[in-house]
Structure 1
Amino acid sequence: MDMDPVDQARRLAADLFPDALAVILAGSTATGRATASSDLDIAVLVPDGGETYRETIRFEGRLVELFVHTRAGREELFAADVAARRGVLQSMYASGRVLVDVDGEAGRGRESAEADLREGPPALDPETVETKRYGLTDALDDLADAGDRVERLAVAAVVLGGAAELLLDHHRAWTGGGKWLPRRLRAADARRGGALLEGHLHLCESGDPAPMLAAAAEILALTGGPLREGYRRTWRSPAEAAVPDRR
């Protein structure tokens, strides 16, 4: 049997979702970068009344990540992805390969996804940015002082994540996890994001934190600078936090 991933995705759609209104193949298989072990990332729009869910299955020996949803479910997932600042399903619709499109449903989904992606994620509120500045300042101090190699690597991961969040928010750019974090960083700010990533790589290879410290410090300066003394937060219980502040 032909094991071409695109043809596999077509067979999966026909076998498992014969009534689908739209099927989009995303990820590396949609861009021609798939390897023999690459999984299939597939968004499936099902008729109203169906379920919205995510499921991992194996089809013809290949791992498949299914993102199944109704029209209403798609809008809810789009909203959740915007709130999470990731735009996962939007990216699938916007850049994926359309395998099934009934009455233009895939096209309408793509238009909505592209509008979200153009708008970008919501900016972090000032209090959150301040807290992230404080956290990154503390992590940079720890990284500069770390003598234990294992601890240094652990703190470097905190610095990478904290600096990335601030830089991506500064540019109102989407974030991502795993391999998508460096991709998002380079797309948002090739120089600063690239310097942060290269500094992290240099530290992992040599143990020298200096380039990473410099790159993260530049990002911190771009977003308000170091924050130590003067930082204060008043604790609000979960019940209090759930009540809107109407002052």
Structure 2
Amino acid sequence: MEESIIELVNQFIKRFYPNASVGMVGGSIIHNQQNRESDIDLLIIDETQESPHLSCYIFEDRKIEAFVFTESALYYQFETARYTGVPTIIKICAEGIIVEDTDDLGGKVKKEAKSTLMNGMAMWSSEDFAKLRYKITDQLYDLRTCKDEGEQLFIVNNLIEGLSELVIRTDGNWMGIGKWRARCLKESNEEVYNKIVQNVDQFFSSHDHKRFSEFVEEILSYYGGELFSNHKEMLF
């Protein structure tokens, strides 16, 4: 990471979070994958803050997303992420570059984050697995009979989200959101990733919803097939 970024972040912390005990920079910028729209992901531990929050800034013409926690709230977020499967904050802590540290708390947090990532998500329950199979099945039923091309786009988007989550979580891997979901799927199962990309591309070119439905059926068949009859789930 460029020295100028470290200097900018240090200035930012001094101005907006002078009581911070830890500051870590993570995200695409530390992997040299940034582009002109990339922001700086910054993890802050500050015991004077009342509650965990995300605050967004434009500082010295750079976009900064500050994820602010107390130490105890951060560890609680780690545990919560094991159930949602989305390790955004954990990855910032595990992979990030420490730019501010008091009493080696940053080192302690980094060690805990790496351990959490390595141990993986909490075991996926059979109820959650069935719920997702049902959700995909329900969207598949809609796509088979949908004649409106605009509505088809939204259904296909839901199916992409559902299928990718099904594959990633069944394999016991962490997920992500947006581009990170795509990267996690590719890492988890590159064959399915390539099939989804190819079939989505074909759908956008031809709007052949029947063909895309058949593709969804194929992927779903690897995980027990469609689920409707006798499905039951708690609503709250």
Task: Give me the TM-score of the superposition, normalised by structure 1.
Answer: 0.83
Q: Within 2, Cα distance between the matches of 1:131 and 1:36?
A: 39
Residue of structure 1 equivalent to 2:68: 68
Cα distance, 1:164–1:53 mapped onto 2, change above 3 Å = same
- Contact kept in structure 1, 2:140 and 2:213, CA below 8 Å: yes
Counterpart amino acid of residue 105 in structure 1: L
Q: Within 2, Cα distance between the matches of 1:98 and 1:215?
A: 45
| Deviation string, structure 1 residues 203-223 (Cα, Å, up to 9, x no partner) | 223323466445433431222
Cα distance, 1:13–1:188 mapped onto 2, change above 3 Å = same
Counterpart amino acid of residue 89 in structure 2: L
Cα offset, 1:83, TM superposition = 2.6
Residue of structure 1 equivalent to 2:95: 95
Cα distance, 1:205–1:99 mapped onto 2, change above 3 Å = farther
Residue of structure 2 equivalent to 1:142: 142
- Contact kept in structure 2, 1:27 and 1:41, CA below 8 Å: yes
Cα distance, 1:151–1:67 mapped onto 2, change above 3 Å = same
Cα offset, 1:3, TM superposition = 11
Residue of structure 1 equivalent to 2:79: 79
Cα offset, 1:75, TM superposition = 0.8
Residue of structure 2 equivalent to 1:223: 223
Q: Within 1, Cα distance between the matches of 2:194 and 2:99?
A: 35
Cα distance, 1:208–1:15 mapped onto 2, change above 3 Å = same
Residue of structure 2 equivalent to 1:106: 106
| Deviation string, structure 1 residues 153-173 (Cα, Å, up to 9, x no partner) | 111012111112211221111
Q: Within 2, Cα distance between the matches of 1:174 and 1:23?
A: 24
Please say which of residues 95-104 and 72-81 is displaced more in the overlay: 95-104
Please give the secondary structure, in 2, of the residue aligned with 1:54.
Answer: strand
- Contact kept in structure 2, 1:198 and 1:212, CA below 8 Å: no
Q: Which blocks of at least 5 consecutive residues in structure 1 are unaligned?
A: 239-247
Task: Give me the TM-score of the superposition, normalised by structure 2.
Answer: 0.87
Residue of structure 1 equivalent to 2:7: 7
Please give the secondary structure, in 2, of the residue aligned with 1:122.
Answer: coil
Q: Within 2, Cα distance between the matches of 1:146 and 1:154?
A: 11
Counterpart amino acid of residue 99 in structure 2: L
Q: Does 1:187 align with 2:174?
A: no
The alignment's C-alpha RMSD in Å is 2.5
Listed as ranges, the matches of 1:235-246 within 5 Å are 238=236
Residue of structure 2 equivalent to 1:242: none
Counterpart amino acid of residue 23 in structure 1: G
Q: Within 2, Cα distance between the matches of 1:219 and 1:122?
A: 24
Q: Within 1, Cα distance between the matches of 2:123 and 2:209?
A: 30
- Contact kept in structure 1, 2:19 and 2:48, CA below 8 Å: no
Q: Within 1, Cα distance between the matches of 2:194 and 2:161?
A: 14
**Which of structures 1 and 2 has the larger relative contact order (alpha carbons within 8 angstroms, sep 6+)?**
2
Cα offset, 1:231, TM superposition = 2.6
